[in-house]
Amino acid sequence: MPFFADADQLYAVAQQLLSRVQEEKPHSAEGITRSRLVVRLRTMGPATEFTLNGRQRPLDIIYGPAGPRPILDIELSADTLHRILLGELPLKRAVGNGALRVHGPVWHLVPLADLFYQGQEIYPQVLADHGLLAGPGGAAARA
């Protein structure tokens, strides 16, 4: 059973997470904006699409199928994204085992990785805010 019930739930969690990362850790997007990188992140199960536009400062994030043409296109399941953000699946391993597929110059993952790592610190609290984190040990459970 997928962790996220539907696309609306994933979009809500992602929007809060990325807003908090930009607010609390503004340096985390510097690599993306400095390189003027445009990244489209597409998930399956549920299907969502996010575009990170590093051609604008601060980083512009578009939720849904719109935005400028990406330099880097990333495809992964929503559950894989969830595991990466929890720190259960290292980004390098996800790329290596094909759970995260990259279309475009793979070296552009380097500036994006910092955004993922900074998000890992905030993600459990965002899940809790949405009622998706249960138990004293922090075990995630779908509501």
User: For residue 135, is it within any domain?
Assistant: no
User: What is the bridge-based pairing of β-strands 38-44 and 48-53?
Assistant: antiparallel
Model confidence over 56-83: pLDDT tens digits?
988 999 999 988 999 999 999 999 999 9
Show the beta-strand stretches assigned E in 4-135.
38-44, 48-53, 60-63, 72-77, 100-103
User: For residue 32, is it within any domain?
Assistant: yes
Instruction: Please give the residue range of the domain that contains residue 52.
Output: 7-129
User: For residue 34, is it within any domain?
Assistant: yes
User: For residue 89, is it within any domain?
Assistant: yes
User: For residue 110, is it within any domain?
Assistant: yes
Model confidence over 77-120: pLDDT tens digits?
999 999 999 999 999 999 999 999 999 998 889 999 999 999 99
Q: How many domains does the chain have?
A: 1
- Which CATH number fits the domain that encloses residue 54? 3.30.1050.10
